[in-house]
Amino acid sequence: MSQPELESFIQFSNEVTIITHIIYPSFPFTLFPYLETYHPFLDRSFFWSKGRWWIALGERKVEMAQVAEKGDGRNPFLEITVESEETVEEVSSILGVNEDPLPFYQLGEKDPIMNEIIEEFYGARIPRSRSLFEAAVTTILEQQISMKVASVLRKRFVEEWGRGPLYREGEAIFAFPASRDIVKTSPEELRKIGMSGAKARAIHRLTEMIEEKEIDPEFLKTLPSSQVVDFLTHLPGIGAWSAQFIVARWMPTNDCFAPGDLGLRKAIGFFYQGSEHPVSIADAQEILRRFSPYERWAGWYLLMAIEKEKGSPSRDSSFQIIEKI
């Protein structure tokens, strides 16, 4: 369990009211492995700059949150700066502040390969999407293309239809578009950022279904992940891989990942078989089941490990993490 909040204080500026909270996450905790692995793929709604995370929140009123990870390995804490009290809990949820990785780590001790990966990424959290819509759009854009290309499309999507830019300390921030921002946009207009017609139609139909209340994200959150996966696979343009990744990105559960993901299958082939070839979906599912009900943890840790092993572009000399204070 997380420790009680240490302190909070309020500042006033000409722009906004700023509320700063010092929060102790469940130990162990760090966001730096995620940052090292995925920083080239982040967009202007969720990014790292000036030694902290910048996160745009809110579908109607856009607010900014800044998060700095401080302390040492045994006593990490987060300095969370927000513009209203209500967003503190949301930020904590997105970053997995109250999640406990230790049960997964205990399972990992029984698997020598996973245990070594856990030691490498000890405490690492994988932030969750802020909404079902964000998780779905991100996943649809990634279908059958590289993460690098998909991240370009996502950045364009955010800056074309996200509200903004907001400016804080010289940083330009955009909100990730909500379904209400896209509903009046045609599939043809969506295609202008470079996505395929099929992806544009899938995103547009998803937007309509959310706005017309055919999809209720809050209700879906109350269901078991398997039921949500089944529901999502009946939507246009969303198959099993997409549905599982949407759930893994967004839902407050850890028992779902996508065994069909090529990156995951390559990681399992490399670490478990010493091969450059991906394993079968069935073999990937078998590995994930070893860590049930923590498949999400296992899947993301394997993906981070293979990115590090092959020399992720995020580990080039132009990027250096600022040491924790």
List all residues 6 or more positions away from 320 whose beta carbon is below 8 Å from its beta carbon: none
* CA–CA dist 91, 72 (Å, integer): 21
Cα dihedral sign, 235-240-246-248: positive
* CA–CA dist 143, 261 (Å, integer): 10
DSSP structure class, residue 128:
P
pLDDT at position 18 is 86
* Cβ-contact 137, 203 below 8 angstroms: yes
* CA–CA dist 145, 137 (Å, integer): 14
pLDDT at position 218 is 96
Cα dihedral sign, 313-173-46-128: negative
* Cβ-contact 15, 83 below 8 angstroms: no
Gyration radius from the chain CA atoms: 19
Structure-token pair, residue 237: 């343009």
pLDDT at position 325 is 28
Beta pairing class for 17-23 and 46-49: unpaired
In the chain, DSSP finds a helix count (H) and a strand count (E) of 15, 8
Neighbours of 315 (CB within 10 A): 14
pLDDT at position 7 is 54
Domains of the chain: 1-97 (no CATH), 132-310 (1.10.340.30)
Closest to 172 measured CA to CA, from 34, 17, 49, 7 = 49
* Cβ-contact 34, 126 below 8 angstroms: yes
pLDDT at position 231 is 98
In the block, tokens 């544009």 appear at: 200
Q: Provide the residue type at 126 as one letter.
A: I
pLDDT digits (tens), the chain, 325 positions: 444 454 555 454 455 678 999 999 999 999 999 999 999 999 999 999 999 999 999 887 889 999 999 998 788 999 999 988 889 999 999 999 999 999 999 999 999 999 999 999 999 999 999 999 999 999 999 999 999 999 999 999 999 999 999 998 999 999 999 999 999 999 999 999 999 999 999 999 999 999 999 999 999 999 999 999 999 999 999 999 999 999 999 999 999 999 999 999 999 999 999 999 999 999 999 999 999 999 999 999 999 999 999 875 433 323 333 333 2
CA dist 45 → 53, 63, 292, 314 (Å):
10, 11, 32, 19
First to last CA, the chain: 23
In the block, tokens 């996160």 appear at: 55
